Structure 1
């Protein structure tokens, strides 16, 4: 499974040689509901095949369809999905992403990928990471208010202490040095002290490697808060060696291997919730101050022009609001359309993508926490 966080801008928003296929589908975590998922995917695949036949009748499409057909028959994949999937394919690229939120079912063949639903997921304000840690192994989870799921580590990640430093117990030379030539009573204590110091050093190296890799590969690209789940005696050592600025002050005092994922999620959200609400309150206050100074707006027309000019520093978007229409990327002018027209984009998603491409921040906010009644709140750079 590819990393959506890393791929979103450099891969999915990049230009590709068409045709570009985008498939979104809600999925199910449990049996028997998940039995219907590959059947529904088969229906979406038939829509893709029909679109390719209409739009690209003069092109050979077997290469682009082959991985999609293989996915449709992959029982192992369909038995381990979350709440939704996003699938993207070109003649030279194939990506599948598991999603923690359900998505509207659709299959689109176009000159570029349809990525709007992903922005709503990636920019939601309730997302966080949990790092599970003990002396022997590390595990990473991504969560929101509803779910917590394991994040598969890459090949270079030090998931276990043994993988990083090798088996340290039972090395003859180490045992000889530990016991030395002193008397029997003192030899045992000296040996135990040396062995403990060696274990602590190995643990410290392991924790440092885990922290560095999490920061480089997960925290820095996503900007998500990181919550440590570990026994109390491991918290201090990890914080000594970690320089991850996303690491939260509060933590979960438990070995994650000893509790269920559901319990870990509940305990994590209990800690994250106050931080989440505080962040939303802070953003609301910043918007109010900016609007009072003439550097903020909730007006769609004004925000459209600011997005086209690259002036938006932060854009807050109502998670439940959809406004169908089209944004002119050059002038920022807005054309409204009918909601039932399947070929029309969502203006809010267009504005969000333009803001991200211009280096601004987008935060998807629940409607009850929006500081405006238009569904948008923009803070301008100038």
Structure 2
């Protein structure tokens, strides 16, 4: 499994070749569709169309064969198709091959050009969606760095005890923890240990959680990202008592994280955190609307792209699933529009998105109904 990160994105965005192919397909995580090979069939179908176009474009048989090898190897890999998320993005040229499993339900799509089509992956680079997830049980502790499109483990073995016994002593024996809430709607939980121990189990758990908190705190304070905790409901109030990190998210991801895999942890975490991820985008849209009658906004693509190259764009809004074809002549600061993707014309929205990120701006893919200026497929909030 490979998931996108900033370094990988930059590699894709900077890559140029005479033939660059970008493929996006929806995938199923499990169920009947997986057993019947639906994911594999999607890729096979897209690749059949691509090969036909490459032949029509007079690409040599040897180049097509070179490109085909890693694609066919992926199609034939049964184990690969058993471990999918919601979408698969593949980038291939005669001398390059990479794929990314991402929690995005792509529409089946391919793009053939001299550059890769990275626009669907842009939200992973905005930074607004970045947060940490602490997966914690009495016998297991893991930390992840998460974005809308990715999840990556953080190495914390040297920072924290990995299980309760390491903190409170190995004479501690696992006991059945029972709890009950006093009165309907009450919030006081009582713990009852079995086995005759005089230790207060809640105190021991809190001691363990405090050690975890202190162990990861220095790492968390490097970026001060929100910390989302994934654990069983009865453990979260104890962790909150032990916590000293200022950016702990108040809502827990309920359940035992050991009951799922890393993609499941990612999916469950996004379900809880998604409303927060849209806050900065919504604030920027509101700011655009407030300034729409000033010189600090524009919806004209012929003005936006030169402004991007001059570093003037603070935030770019691009209509999701939209496309505009053409070419940008940087020396003349002129945008040439086209009706199609032929004769050297490229996706201007893909170009604008890549360059905005490169110049330190932010990009949001926005559904049509949420675009600040709906008559245009791209809106820009300019720097003051």
1:44-83 to structure 2, matched below 5 A, reads 44-46=46-48, 51=54, 54-57=58-61, 62=66, 65-83=68-86
Indicate if the aligned counterparts of 1:133 and 1:255 stay in contact, CA closer than 8 A: no
d(CA) in 2 for partners of 1:126, 1:73: 34
Residue 17 of structure 1: how far off its partner (Å): 6.6
Contiguous gaps of at least 5 residues in structure 2: 173-196
Aligned counterparts, 1:1-382, within 5 A: 1-15=1-15, 20-34=20-34, 35-46=37-48, 51=54, 54-57=58-61, 62=66, 65-89=68-92, 93-108=96-111, 110-119=113-122, 130-138=133-141, 140=144, 151=151, 153=153, 156=155, 158=157, 163=162, 167=166, 192=199, 202-210=208-216, 226-230=227-231, 231-236=235-240, 239-240=243-244, 242=245, 247-248=248-249, 250-252=250-252, 254-257=254-257, 269=271, 272-273=274-275, 275=276, 278-338=279-339, 344-373=345-374, 374-382=376-384
SS of equivalent to 2:85: coil
- For residues 228 and 359 of structure 2, the distance between their equivalents in structure 1, rounded to whole angstroms, comes to 30
TM superposition shift of 1:358 = 0.9
Q: Which moved more, 1:257-266 or 1:315-324?
A: 257-266
How many residues in Structure 1 have an aligned counterpart in Structure 2? 350
C-alpha deviation, 1:312, in angstroms: 0.4
**1:138–1:210 contact (8 Å) kept in structure 2:** no
Q: How much does 1:362 deviate?
A: 0.9
Displacement, 1:76? 1.7
Q: Secondary structure at the match of 2:83?
A: coil
More helix by share: 1
- Structure 2 CA distance for aligned equivalents of residues 164 and 328 of structure 1: 59
| 1:276/1:255 CA distance change after superposition, 3 Å | same
User: Post-superposition shift, 1:380?
Assistant: 1.4
Residue deviations 1:332-352, cap 9 Å, x none?
422222258697543333222
Cα RMSD, aligned residues only: 4.7
Contact 1:136–1:160 (8 Å) recurs in 2: no
| CA–CA separation in structure 1 for the residues paired with 2:102 and 2:117 | 15
Deviation for aligned residue 1:209: 4.6
CA contact (8 A) 1:301 1:333 kept: yes
Q: Distance in 2 between matches of 1:87 and 1:171?
A: 48
Measure, in 2, the Cα distance between the counterparts of 1:152 and 1:100.
13
1:368 and 1:126 mapped to 2: Cα distance?
A: 21
1:355–1:361 Cα contact (<8 Å) kept = yes
TM-score (norm: length of structure 2): 0.69
* CA pair 271-37 structure 1, distance change in 2 beyond 3 A: closer
Pair 55,290 (structure 1): closer, same or farther in 2 beyond 3 Å: same
CA displacement 1:79-105 (0-9 Å, x = unmatched):
222222012245665422112223243
Ranges in structure 1 where 5+ consecutive residues have no aligned partner: 175-187
